[in-house]
Amino acid sequence: MFRALSVVVSVLLLTPFVSSQHEAAADPGKSARQSGAIFKREIDDLLAVLRSTARRGVASPAKKGVLGGDVLSTAKILTAMGHCSRRYHISDGPVVRPSLDYLMANRMADGSFGNAVATAWVLDALAIMNGEGYSAEIGVGRKWLEAGEHNPESFQHQVQAKLAAVRVDYFPEHMGAGAAGQVRGMQRAPNNVDRAAAADVLVTLAACQSANAALDQAASKQGQATAWSSAQEKAFGWLLQRQKGGVFSVSFPVPNEKGEEVMKSFPDPALTGFGLMALQSKPMAKRTKAEQETITTGLNWLLKQQNEDGTFGQQVLNYTTSVVVGALARANNPLHAPVMAKAQKALLMFQNIEAGGYDSSDRDYGSIGYGGSQRGDLSNTHFSMEALRATGLPEDHEAMQKALVFLQRTQNLKSANDFKGKVPHPNKPGAEIEIASGDDGGAAYYPGNSAAGYVVKPDGTAIARSYGSMTYALLKSYTLAGVKGDDPRVQAAVKWIQNNWTLAVNPGSDPALGEKVKYQGLFYYYMVLGQALDAAEIESFERPQVSTDGKPVVATVAWRKELKEHMESMQQADGSWINGKNGRWMESMPLLCTCYAMVALQHCR
What's the pLDDT band for 373 if we cut at 50, 70, 90?
A: low
Helix (H) or strand (E) holding 581: none
Three-state DSSP state, 434: strand
Evaluate the CA torsion angle 587, 592, 597, 599 in order and state its sign.
Answer: negative
Which residue in 317, 320, 233 sits closest to 278, CA to CA?
233
User: What pLDDT is recorded for position 403?
Assistant: 96
- Reference 527, options 423, 417, 418, 602; nearest CA is 602
Q: Given this model, what pLDDT does residue 68 score?
A: 96
- pLDDT (0 to 100) of residue 8: 38
Residues 441 and 496 sit within 8 Å (Cβ to Cβ): yes
**pLDDT for position 220:** 66
Sign (positive/negative) of CA torsion 18, 20, 23, 29? positive
Residue 474 has pLDDT above 60, yes or no: yes
Q: How do residues 67-126 score in pLDDT, each as one tens digit?
A: 999 999 999 999 999 999 999 999 999 999 999 999 999 999 999 998 999 999 999 999
3-state secondary structure 139-189: HHHHHHHHHCCCCCCCHHHHHHHHHHHCECCECHHHHCHHHHHHHHHHHHC
Per-residue pLDDT of 298-327, as tens digits, reads 999 999 999 999 999 988 999 999 999 999
- Whose CA is closest to 36, among 150, 224, 172, 201? 172
Helix (H) / strand (E) containing 245: none
| Res 5: pLDDT | 34
pLDDT in tens, 206-257: 999 999 998 888 776 554 444 789 999 999 999 999 999 999 988 767 677 7
Q: For residues 123 and 394, give the distance between their C-alpha atoms in angstroms, rounded to a whole number.
A: 13
User: Is the pLDDT confidence value at 537 over 80?
Assistant: yes
Question: At 11, is the pLDDT very low, low, confident or very high (cuts 50, 70, 90)?
Answer: very low
| Residue 179 to residue 80: CA distance in whole angstroms | 14
What are the extents of the domains in the chain? 4-223, 238-249+262-305, 309-402
pLDDT greater at residue 21 or residue 378: 378
